[in-house]
Amino acid sequence: MFWSLTLREIDTILKGVVIRRKRERNQRTEMVWHTAFMTAYAPAKSREFWKLKDLTAEPKAASGRKNAWESDFAAAQAWVRSTSKR
């Protein structure tokens, strides 16, 4: 099955796995944070306790501009032309 996938499909699958892992990590972190806050591990003053948003990994927006398919296609054509001249 793996060998029948295109690079775009593999990229999409890997991006999905990364998003799922970050979500699962954040869920576990929130559970541990709430457990620690409600038990004896919490400090006497609640404002001294770690902020939950500092512990969870926020998904970052993709930086930069997405290339249009035309520029990707032109780059692929240029690569094919350069390899076929050899």
Q: Could you read off the pLDDT of 4-56 as tens digits, one per residue?
A: 888 899 999 999 999 999 999 999 998 988 888 777 666 666 667 777 777 77
Q: Is 69 part of any domain?
A: no
Q: Is 67 part of any domain?
A: no
Full-model pTM:
0.51
Q: Are 55 and 29 in contact (CB under 8 A)?
A: yes
- Name the nearest CA neighbour of 52 among 70, 76, 35: 35
Q: What does the alpha-carbon distance between residue 54 and residue 26 come to, in Å, rounded to a whole number?
A: 11
Q: Is 63 part of any domain?
A: no
Domain containing 2 equals 1-58
In the block, residue with structure tokens 């796995």: 17
Give the total number of structural domains in the chain.
Answer: 1
